[in-house]
């Protein structure tokens, strides 16, 4: 694990924690974007941004079957360059110190990024999408239809209270 | 890890994978909901649903500082009862077989749930929220402001294309 930056800013606090070990992840593929350095990443992906490629491991391709029915997909990925011990942070943009959980900074105890992207097309075990802001080579963790698209398809179950 | 259900349905496929080990998670707390069994969980949380409690580890409380500024928070949690080897699935609701990544089923290679919840109030190292649908006792992974609320606050950086 390479730290994104090693120095803390004034007012930032870190936490000494034992090694992470409560649950384990298995990378399901790799994200290909045009962004080779952190400074090149937009702060937020845009649906008119460049096409990016979600490359699943070939043996997982069948897991995509049916995804073409959705316009938008939620993507979860592992922010592999992020340090994990910052409890409070001072974003460069404003210098105010806030808690890590009040920020969307990649630096967090479990550095999982989430984005909702526009699905352009499927290409075998890969999806072409727009709207990502992460580094090229970011490990992929999960893909799922966005909830609003999903809820249209699902019939109610008894535990769904209908208002 | 207890499987939510051990039997597969017609047409479902599983994958034999080595143990997960690409990255490790550290649980940051526990989610308290009124839902004690999977059948009691609504399919989707509602903002007029019951109050739930996100209990952070006390040593992480400072990580919440500033979160009161947001109405809505994205919650990531570990679906600890879910099997991880289903590549295609047949939801009980419609019996059609689809790829795991075309479903929001809890059964997935990396069983991470995401929800956007309404923040009711902070109570020390805990947040009271509405809109969850997960089991009581679910391990908490991460909290962050929802992206739309965040983007209002952040000034543009050079790599943000402005349309």
Closest CA to A108 of A121, A125, A91: A91
Q: Given the structure tokens 């974003």, which residue do they identify?
A: A91
Q: Kindly report the nearest CA distance between residue A27 and chain B, in angstroms.
A: 6
Question: Residue A53: in which H helix or E strand, if any?
Answer: strand A51-56
pLDDT at B1: 39
Q: Which of A18, A63, A135 to mutate to test the interface with B (most CBs of B within 10 A)?
A: A63
In whole angstroms, give the CA distance from residue A99 to residue A73.
29
In this predicted structure, the answer to whether residue A149 has a pLDDT above a threshold of 60 is no
Q: Given the structure tokens 């649950």, which residue do they identify?
A: A23
Look at strands A86-89 and A13-14 and give their pairing: antiparallel
pLDDT at B153: 42
User: Cβ of A101 and B156 within 8 Å?
Assistant: no
Q: Which residue has the higher pLDDT, A68 or B4?
A: A68
In whole angstroms, give the CA distance from residue A55 to residue A29.
5
Count of pairs with CB atoms under 8 A, one residue in A, one in B: 222
pLDDT at B16: 75
Q: Kindly report the nearest CA distance between residue B4 and chain A, in angstroms.
A: 17
Residue of A nearest to B19 (CA): A26
pLDDT at B39: 87
User: Cβ of B62 and A99 within 8 Å?
Assistant: yes
Contact between residue A47 and residue A107 where contact means Cβ atoms under 8 Å apart: no
In this predicted structure, the answer to whether residue B28 has a pLDDT above a threshold of 80 is yes
Residue of B nearest to A48 (CA): B163
Q: Given the structure tokens 């009691």, which residue do they identify?
A: B40
Contact between residue A108 and residue A100 where contact means Cβ atoms under 8 Å apart: yes
Residue of A nearest to B26 (CA): A20
pLDDT at A1: 39
In whole angstroms, give the CA distance from residue B87 to residue B99.
6
- Which of B40, B102, B142 comes nearest A145 by C-beta? B102
In whole angstroms, give the CA distance from residue B2 to residue A155.
27
User: Cβ of A102 and B64 within 8 Å?
Assistant: yes
pLDDT digits (tens, 9 = 90+) for A104-148: 999 999 999 999 999 999 999 999 999 999 999 999 999 999 866
Q: Given the structure tokens 């045009």, which residue do they identify?
A: A34
What is the token pair recorded at A55?
Answer: 């490359």
Residue of A nearest to B155 (CA): A93
pLDDT at A79: 95
In whole angstroms, give the CA distance from residue B97 to residue B157.
44
User: Cβ of B74 and A114 within 8 Å?
Assistant: yes
pLDDT at A150: 44
pLDDT digits (tens, 9 = 90+) for B126-163: 999 999 999 999 999 999 998 664 444 445 566 665 43
pLDDT digits (tens, 9 = 90+) for B86-127: 999 988 777 789 999 999 999 999 999 999 999 999 999 999
pLDDT digits (tens, 9 = 90+) for A2-54: 444 567 778 788 877 666 678 999 999 999 999 999 888 988 888 999 999 99
Q: Span B42-56, mean pLDDT?
A: 92
In whole angstroms, give the CA distance from residue B91 to residue B106.
11
Counting every residue, how long is chain A? 163
């Amino acid at each position: 694990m390479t730290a994104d930056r090693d120095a803390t800013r004034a007012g930032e606090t870190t936490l000494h924690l034992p090694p992470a070990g409560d649950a384990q992840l298995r990378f399901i593929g790799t994200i290909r974007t045009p962004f080779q350095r952190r400074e090149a990443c937009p702060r937020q992906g845009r649906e008119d941004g460049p096409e990016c490629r979600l490359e699943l491991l070939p043996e997982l391709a069948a897991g995509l079957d049916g995804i073409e029915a959705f316009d938008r997909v939620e993507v979860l990925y592992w922010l592999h360059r992020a340090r994990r011990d910052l409890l409070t942070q001072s974003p460069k943009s404003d210098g105010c110190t806030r808690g890590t959980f009040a920020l969307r900074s990649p630096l967090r105890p479990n550095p999982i990024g989430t984005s909702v992207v526009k699905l352009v097309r499927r290409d075998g075990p890969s999806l072409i999408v727009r709207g990502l802001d992460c580094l090229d080579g970011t490990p992929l963790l999960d893909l799922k239809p966005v909830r609003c698209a999903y809820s249209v398809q699902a019939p109610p179950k008894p535990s769904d209270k209908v208002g």
